[in-house]
Amino acid sequence: MTKTLYLFAGSVWAAAAELAVTELGYKEDDITFKSINLVEGENFMPSFLKINPAGTLPTLECDGQVYKMTAKVTSALIKGAPIKVKAGTTVIETIHDKKYDPNFSMLSMCNDTELTVKSTGLLMMFISNRILLESGFIGGELPGEDDFHVAAWLTRIAATTGAKSVDDPLTSMEDAYGALVPSKVTAYWGVWIAKPSWKKVYAYVLH
């Protein structure tokens, strides 16, 4: 049965689902993509609220089920995917914790430069000390389910510190909190930006 994936190009967590689709080897006719414009409030239109009353993205319709949370969406995509990858761990729950909200840096940047420095620095140390390995993906040779979420999270952090393209993030993150980006973060960024999936999802702008 064809899956229908509801997305928005500027959504941090919809990007996690988009990365998953490509990395899991789905073909174009395996999934129908529908864009829901969050800026224009299309997620609150009755037609979409009928599918997902919470109005959140990504949302996935598959085999008569509707998956409304990012973790549930990526988990459903992994089941039966052409390419098998390592299933998610507690990393996903951790990265979605409100205290690690990747949008916080953007909000604080608008209001308090010192707070931006502190928050960005804490996020960098958090991901370096608690999430990432010395090199490579969390899932091993191939990106696993954890990686889809962490990559989307890290790219949003980069975007909120002013990065516009693949060449900007390390510099922008360093400028944001006044220190070198941890080596684990640098290595992780390097393996992701080389992936066709990452280049596809972030072809026009980091978000």
15-26 tens-digit pLDDT:
999 999 999 999
Residue 200, pLDDT score = 94
CATH of 3-78 given 3.10.20.30, 3.40.30.10, 3.40.50.12780, 3.90.79.10 = 3.40.30.10
What's at 7, amino acid-wise? L
CA distance linking residue 27 with residue 193, whole number of Å = 22
Nearest to residue 6, comparing CAs of 28, 153, 42, 22? 42
At 60, list the tokens: 């996935």
Q: What average pLDDT does the segment 193-207 reach?
A: 92
The set of residues, in sequence order, having a beta carbon less than 8 Å from that of 45 and lying 6+ positions away, is: none
* Domain 90-201 coded CATH 1.20.1050: yes
The proportion of the chain whose per-residue pLDDT surpasses 70, expressed as a percent, equals: 90
Closest CA to 67 of 6, 112, 140: 6
Average pLDDT, the chain: 88
Instruction: Spell out the SS3 assignment of 28-58.
Output: HHHEEEEECCCCCCHHHCHHHHCCCCCCCCC
Return the domain boundaries, the chain: 3-78, 90-201
Picking from 206, 178, 180, the residue whose alpha carbon sits closest to that of residue 192 is: 206
**What interhelical angle do 183-193 and 113-130 show, nearest 10?**
80
pLDDT of residue 121: 66
Against a cut of 0.85, is the pTM above it?
yes
